[in-house]
Amino acid sequence: MIFSKVINRYYKRFAFFFIVGILALVAVDWLQLYIPENLGNIVRVLVENYDKDSVWPQIVEISIRVLIIAGGCFLGRIIWRVTLFYASTKIEADLRSRMFEKAERLSLDFYQANKIGTVLAWFTNDTETVEEFIGWGTLMLVDGIFLTILVLFKMILLDWFVTVLIAIPVVLIVIWGLLVEKYMSMKWDNRQNAFDKLYDFSQESFAGIRVIKAFVKETQQLHQFAKIARHNKDVEVDFARVSILFDVAIETIIAVVFSTLIGLGGYFVYLCISGETLIILGHEVNMDAAELIEFVAYFSTLIWPLIALGQVITMRSKAKASLERIGRYLNTEETIKNVPNAKVLENVKGGIVFNHFTFKYPGTTYDSLEDISLEIKPGETIGIVGRIGSGKSTLVNSLARLYNVDNKAIFIDGIDIMKADVTSLRKQLAYVPQDNFLFSETIRDNIAFSGVDSNDETIKDAAKFACVDDDIEHFPRKYDTILGERGVTLSGGQKQRVSIARAFLKDAPILIFDDSVSAVDVKTEETILSNIKRVRRGRTTLVVASRVSTVQGLDKVIVLNEGRLEAFDSPNKLYLTSPTFKKMVDLQRLEKEEGSL
């Protein structure tokens, strides 16, 4: 077996299945031992009564006993297969479920440090390796231990001296296994790491296939993939070489011992028939043909557990390495979590206060935002503008606590978000991200993703709010249109508007647009902004924009410059007080004039 904090809970949870399965295994092992004994009895009957009429009834009687034993073994094998493999499959499923729940709780900085391909490898290869050992490994371990002990006991009853000779390979295999297990575990860990890199590259290439094709980089990617694949192959072959050498050593030992048993056994039988006595180290060896057949049958039975013990060492080393990888993942510290007695946000009005808010992304040495202080009153519609990299997205993302912030730095309705329950906090926010991620489902399902009680009418209303209803109605399957991966079948503007509809349907007190109308035309943008003022009157809305025209009609505008708050006022006043805002207005006015020439 293999033990760790990750897996120990399952042994208790599925104890019934393990106990029943192991008892069935032991019962099968015990029944198997009667087959060599009955084979010896058949030889004795034939030797002693070969010329008598009673020989065939005795052989038939023994054969019936063998068939009954085979039937019992058949039933026992069904029981242990059902119980042990059911338990191992359920453990794998529950382990994956725990890992997925962990993935949802981990913060964004974890996924910045670990590629998606690596995480997926933990969910697939490593969990399958653990499941294989729990199922087949338990079978081989129990079978190897109990069947070996029972067989050796039976052989000792026949002749303890010959049994001692037979037991030598068992000791050699155990010693050999203990010596190579740690080495094989290290080789398997290297193999899994190499597979992670292959998985990472493949996942990244598939996700960026349009970019690869657009820049005609297929050949370059192919060469890079071939290089990673060759390394993966070399590591795989290295592990396979060690594993095969280990198996060959075990089977060689078994073959040598089996050949020795046949040769010596035949010699012992010859001496027995000749009436001669052989004494070795004070022990008289007296073996007839029936006993030789029993010995050979017992050793043939012993071959499987000896091979199983060798294989279980290989499987255990693999499972141990994979379980350590899974354990490191499950034990990753969750940086975004509730403080004791966290306050649940309810009936939020939408008031937001930034109090000397400074933020630095994990792993960086500079502040993305520095000393931001401002107050947004409930129901205000606020624009956020600034140069690229000025911290606009960082400012709105901080409200959802995607990263931890300083205590008493951000308040919603007077409650410090670091003291608020994370789930209740995010329920108060509806968010339209820059990347406009859509799922490979229908348009209806994508819009309804955030709505608990959504129906066709509310979904259509949300689409009208986002000015995407007419586009959807022109599709052959309308709202039942299946989107490709990440919404690839839609244009950039359509994806933005579907994302807006999804966020609007949530009907949250605070709605955030993170540069979410940049891909739509000016007329559509004006309609969406008009809908915001009309439908979301009295509710807080934050609009990050790259165009000044987007924020001209809003209540107030936040102007950021290199991570600092340059100004926060109405759009009309900002032209006189904010150099950054004035420059943006003048440049866009100039672009408009040039475009009209």
pLDDT band at 281 (very low <50, low <70, confident <90, very high): low
**Which CATH number characterizes residue 452's domain?**
3.40.50.300
Q: What is the pLDDT of residue 78?
A: 92
From residue 399, give the alpha-carbon distance in Å to each of 350, 359, 404, 430, 512.
11, 12, 10, 11, 10
Contacts of 196 (CB under 8 A, 6+ apart): 115, 117, 118, 121
- Residue 429, domain member (yes or no): no
Residue 20 clears pLDDT 90, i.e. is over it: yes
- What integer pLDDT is reported at residue 75 of this predicted model? 92
Residues 440, 320 share a domain: no
Q: What's the sign of the alpha-carbon dihedral 296, 152, 44, 261? A: positive
Domain membership flag for residue 71: no
**d(C-alpha 225, C-alpha 223), whole Å:** 5
Q: Which two tokens stand for residue 189?
A: 């860990």
143 has pLDDT over 60: yes
Largest CA distance in the chain: 124
Q: Kind of pairing, strands 556-561 and 381-386? A: parallel
597 pLDDT more than 60: no
Last residue of a domain, one of 507, 539, 569: 507
How confident is the model at residue 527, as a pLDDT?
84
Lowest pLDDT segment from 69-73, 490-494, 506-510, 533-537? 490-494
Could you tell me if residue 573 is inside a domain? no
Q: Report yes or no: 553 and 533 within 8 Å, Cβ to Cβ.
A: yes
Tokens of residue 68, six digits: 């009954």
199 is a domain residue: yes
Residue 195 maps to a domain: yes
Say if residue 320 is in the same domain as residue 445. Answer: no
Q: Is residue 114 part of a domain?
A: yes
Determine, yes or no, domain membership for 556: no
The 10 Å Cβ neighbour count of residue 162 is 23
pLDDT band at residue 165 using 50, 70 and 90 as cut-offs: confident
Look at residues 393, 392, 383, 374 and name the one whose alpha carbon lies nearest to residue 555. Answer: 383
Render pLDDT for 289-342 as a digit per residue (tens, 0 to 9).
Answer: 777 777 777 777 777 777 777 777 778 878 888 888 888 888 888 888 888 888
Domain ends where: 452, 479, 507? 507
Residue 165 placed within a domain? yes
Length of the chain: 597
Q: Is the dihedral of CA 282, 286, 291, 296 positive or negative?
A: positive
Quick: pLDDT tens for 190-247: 877 787 788 778 877 877 777 787 777 788 888 888 888 888 888 888 888 877 877 7
132 and 263 co-located in one domain: yes
What does the pLDDT read at residue 339?
A: 85
Q: What is the pLDDT of residues 53-105, one digit of tens each?
A: 667 777 787 788 888 888 888 998 899 889 999 999 999 999 999 989 888 88
The rounded distance, in Å, linking the Cα atoms of 96 and 331 is 14
What residue numbers bound the domain in which 147 lies? 99-330
Please state the pTM of the whole predicted model: 0.72
Q: Are residues 312 and 458 in the same domain?
A: no
Q: How does DSSP classify residue 427?
A: H
Strand ranges inside 362-460, DSSP E: 369-376, 381-386, 410-412, 415-416, 429-432
Q: In CATH, what number is assigned to the domain containing residue 136? A: 1.20.1560.10
**Helical (H) or strand (E) element with 124:** none
Comparing 394 with 525, which gets the higher pLDDT?
394
Query: How many structural domains are present in the chain?
Result: 2
Percent of the chain exceeding pLDDT 70 equals 92
**pLDDT (0 to 100) of residue 33:** 81
The overall average pLDDT reported for the chain is 81
Last residue of a domain, one of 455, 476, 507: 507
Of the pLDDT bands very low, low, confident and very high (cuts 50, 70, 90), residue 181 is low
